[in-house]
Amino acid sequence: MSDQTPGHTPERPDAGEEQSVAATPPGETGGPTVREQERPGVLQQILGGSALMSVLAVVLALFIGGLLIAFADEDTREAATYFFARPLDTISAGWTAMAEAYVAMFRGSVFDWQAATFAGAVKPLTESMVFAIPLILAGLGIAVGFRAGLFNIGAQGQIIVGAIVAAWLGFAFDLPPVIHLLVAILGGAIGGAVWGGIPGVLKARFGANEVIVTIMLNYIAVYLISYILKQPGFNPGRTGQRSPAVSPDATYPLLVPQWLWPDNGFRLHWGFVVAILATVFVWWLMERSTVGFQIRAVGANPAAARTAGMSVGRITVITMVVAGALAGLAATGQVLGTERSLTAGVAASFGFDAITVALLGRSRPWGTFFAGLLFGALKAGGFLMQSLTSTPIDIVLVVQSLIVLFIAAPPLVRTVFRLPDPDRRRRRKAGPGTTPQEATA
C-alpha cells in the first residue's frame, strides 16, 4: 500500500474492520482451504458505477472523438500551419469540422431534416433501431453473464451458431407462416444456448476459465460457418459466401408495413419488438425470479451463495445458457430480419460491440437497451458522416473504444468532471495488502 493519492480509494478507516482471517500456522495444518477468488474486482467496480458515469463517459468520448475529427480535418491542419500567427483560424476550422461531422452523424442516425419526405426524415432513426436489435439482444446476454460474475466473451460465436441454426430452419423447411418464424427464432436461441452452455458446463464441472473457453469457441464458430457455407445445401451460388434466402414465412415482418405507410422504405422489423420483450424478460429474470436472485448472489459473492445452499455450478451453467440464447436471438434479428440469409459476416462485430453495450448499460436491462440504441445510432450515423464529410467512419470505432476506456476508469471521469468519489466510504474489504492467509496460499 503506497501513499494516499487523490482519487485513490481510501479504505474506510477501522470501521467494519475485523481481525479476521488470522494466519494459520503455515506448513503445519496447510492452512484453511483456499477459496477460489471468483469475483472479478474490476467487473464489480464497473458494474457498480452509476448511470451518470455512463453518460459522462459518452460525453467525454464524444468530445475527444470531436478533437480527433478536428485534427484529421484537412482545413484544420492547413490552418494549423500558421497557428501561431492566427490561432483562431485553427480553432474555428477545427470547430467547423467537428460540428459538421456530428451534425451529419445526427442526420444519419436520428432525424434528417433535409430529406424530401417525412418518411425519409424519420428513416435514420429506424436504421439506428435496426442496428440496435442485435446489439441489445447480445448485450443483454453479456449483461446477464456479468451479473453472475462471468466474463462471457463468446457472444460472437453464440451469434454465429444461432444464425446457422435459424437460417437453416428458415430456408430448408417449409412450415406454415408464423409457426415457421417461431420455429426459426427458437432454433436460433437454442443454437446460441448450446454454444453458450459449453463454456458454462466446462467451468462448472472442470473449472475452465470462461474467458479462454469462449474466445476459443469464437474461433471454432468462425471456421464452422465458413465450412458450413461451403456445403452444398448452404451454397447454391457456389460462392461460399451466402446461403439460400430464408423463406418469407420465416422472416420477421416489417414493423411499419407498406399498407399502413406506403413507400416508407423502413427496414425496421419485428426483431425490435423481440428486443423489447427480451429486455422486459431479463428484467423480470434478474429482479423478480428465484433464478435471478441466485445469479446475482453468485455473481456478487459466490462463497456466501454456496454457504446459503446455492449451487454455484448450476447457476453458472444456467447463466451461460441464458446468455447464449439471447445471443442466438440477436442472430435471428440478422438472418431472419435484416439480411434474410446466412452470410459469412453475419455476426459482423456485434458480439464484441455487445460487451461494450453491456458495460455502458451497467449490465442493467434497460441500461443495456438504451446503450444498444446509442451504439446502433453511432453505427447508422457513421455512414452518412463518412459520405457527407471527409471524416472516416473509423472515428465511430474510436468513440466506442473511448467510451469503454472511460467506463473502465471511473476515477478518470470523476477527475475530469471533478466529482466526489462515491467509494470513499465503502467498507474496507481486505486490510492493507493481503492477509497472510492469502499470501501463504
Applying CB under 8 A, the residues found at the interface with another protein are 1-4, 10, 12-33, 35, 44, 48, 288-291, 293-294, 296-297, 300-301, 303-311, 424-427, 429-437, 439-440
Measuring CA to CA, which residue among 158, 159, 135 is closest to residue 355? 135
Cell 449490465, residue located: 363
Q: In whole angstroms, how far apart are CA 100 and each of 37, 376, 389?
A: 49, 20, 7
Q: Let me know: does 333 contact 162? Beta carbons within 8 Å.
A: no
By C-alpha distance, which of 366, 218, 232, 357 is closest to 286?
A: 366
Smallest separation, CB 202 to another protein (Å): 20
Buried b (16+ CB within 10 A) or exposed e, 232-260: eebbeeeeeebbbebbebbbbebbbeeee
- Cell numbers of 40, please? 472479478
Nearer to another protein, 235 or 437 (CB): 437
> Least distance to another protein from the beta carbon of 323, Å?
18
- C-beta of 311 vs 390, nearer to another protein: 311
Tell me whether residue 12 or residue 77 sits nearer to another protein (CB atom).
12
Nearer to another protein, 86 or 424 (CB): 424
Closest contact distance (angstroms) between CB of 288 and another protein is: 6
Question: What is the nearest approach in angstroms of another protein to the Cβ of residue 38?
Answer: 12
Question: Angle of helix 155-172 relative to helix 179-206, nearest 10 degrees?
Answer: 150
8 Å CB contact between 282 and 143: yes
Q: How far is CA 326 from CA 80, 197, 288, 332, in A?
A: 49, 12, 18, 10
Least Å distance between CB 55 and another protein? 22
Min separation Cβ 315 and another protein, Å:
12
- Cβ closest to another protein, residue 19 vs residue 114: 19
Nearer to another protein, 17 or 78 (CB): 17
Q: How far is the CB of 173 from another protein (least distance, A)?
A: 32
Please give the Cα distance from 229 to 242 (Å, whole number). 7
- Residue 124 or residue 292: which is nearer to another protein going by CB? 292
